Amino acid sequence: MGPLAGLKVIEFAGIGPAPFAAMVLADMDADVLRIDRLPGSRADDEVPMVDEVLNRGRPSVGIDLKSPKGVEAVVRLVESADALIEGFRPGVMERLGLGPDVCMARQPKLVYGRVTGWGQDGPLAHAAGHDINYIALAGALHPIGRSGEAPVPPLNLVGDFGGGGLLLAFGIVCALVERSRSGRGQVVDAAMVDGAALLSAMLHGMRATGSWTDERGANLLDTGAPFYEVYETKDGKYISIGSIEPRFYRQLLERTGLATEHLPNRMDREQWPALKQRLHTVFKTRSRDEWCAIMEGSDVCFAPVLTPGEAPRHPHLKHRGTFIDVAGVTQPAPAPRLSRTPPAVSRPAGRPGQDTEATLAHWGLSPAEVAALRESHVVV
């Protein structure tokens, strides 16, 4: 029994942040029902793929959301739901007849979770966009990169998953906790632009104290500092160094053999390029594995830069079970860990609509209702 056992969540199939939020709730043992649209119900480039990781842990039902009977079937499901997740542009759910007003009229305790790029209101609310655009506007993309080079998009980790899906899941759980006191549901408006800005909170604090500038690649954490950087090794691989504190920096010098050299002051920013070049030269003298043997497990603040394929094989991550195998697919394990009610993956991702009849029955629809929906081709 996971920490969210007993909670029932309806997820409208989408891409990126919405399925990620549903996944982390399902990992915590929420009973999540994923509603997939019927084949051919929208443009091919908008149909979510069967994702072997993001779609794990929950059954899929196929419902025609353009059919009044399909919409009514969803509203019936909402009557027994605790929360709902949708990631469409503002107004789409309302046009389908499944907006917050309709759903919460049937289930006043419903927590209605919405995730978009720009938010439910504002001048850009209805514009298309992707992670790269949301974090760019939020000021989170500009600082990521090296001096004299263009910003580097951090995959879609900051907008879609950190600032979007994870904060949507957090907002839903917060609203559920509040509901336990008030007995009332509410709408959660998770905007990736807001979330990306929130993830930048420390950076704004550093700017306020004058310890961070808008010059890219010239600050403590953006590859400006020589002691917070990635370095290439003799075999063309990379290691990461994060020796910010003086005591950790002293260990860095000792383990690289530089402790006896006359080096520039570590906090003299004008000398950072020269100090970085010296470290670069030293790290090129050994392979990544050789540096691991010298530094790993010490207080240097060191780790090898592993590929996604290498990471699951690292001894520390193997010991913790950070990656697991689900139906032959290696993937990250649920996180965080709870001591009494640990999270778990209950099932691998399935095909859209493969669990329709059994899941509708589990959620309270009668055999006659399910049969009628099937015969009218509202569900598959």
pLDDT digits (tens, 9 = 90+) for 104-149: 999 999 999 999 999 999 999 999 999 999 999 999 999 999 999 9
The pLDDT > 90 percentage for the chain reads: 94
pLDDT in tens, 186-212: 999 999 999 999 999 999 999 999 999
Instruction: Classify 99 as helix, strand or coil.
Output: coil
pLDDT of residue 44: 42
Strands annotated E in 37-155: 60-62, 83-86, 111-116
Catalytic residue among 51, 130, 142, 314: 130
pLDDT of residue 38: 80
If you average pLDDT over residues 74-103, what whole number do you get? 97
Q: Is the dihedral of CA 197, 199, 201, 202 positive or negative?
A: negative
Instruction: Say if residue 364's pLDDT is above 90.
Output: yes
Mean pLDDT of the chain, nearest integer: 95
pLDDT of residue 46: 52
The label of the residue with tokens 């709902």 reads 84
Q: Is 314 a catalytic residue?
A: no
Residues 58-77 as b/e (b if ≥16 CB within 10 A, e otherwise) read bbbbbbbbebeebbebbbeb
pLDDT of residue 350: 87
State the distance between the two ends of the chain, measured CA to CA, in whole angstroms: 30
Instruction: Classify 61 as helix, strand or coil.
Output: strand
Distance CA 281, CA 103 (A): 63
Q: Is 126 a catalytic residue?
A: no
Please indicate whether residue 46 or residue 356 has the higher confidence score (pLDDT): 356
What's this model's pTM, rounded to 2 decimal places?
0.95
The pLDDT > 70 percentage for the chain reads: 97
Distance CA 279, CA 255 (A): 12
Distance CA 148, CA 209 (A): 24
pLDDT of residue 45: 46
> Rounded to the nearest 10 degrees, how much is the dihedral formed by the CA atoms of 362, 366, 370, 372?
-170
Residues 6+ apart with CB under 8 A from 326: 52, 56, 345, 348
pLDDT band at 40 (very low <50, low <70, confident <90, very high): low
The label of the residue with tokens 């993830």 reads 199
Asked whether 147 and 224 are in contact (CB, 8 A), the reply is: yes
Catalytic residue among 31, 160, 194, 222: 160
Spell out the domains of the chain, with CATH numbers in brackets: 8-199+324-375 (3.40.50.10540), 228-232+238-304 (3.30.1540.10)
pLDDT of residue 47: 47
Q: Which of 366, 377, 369, 352 lies closest to 62 in space, CA to CA? A: 352
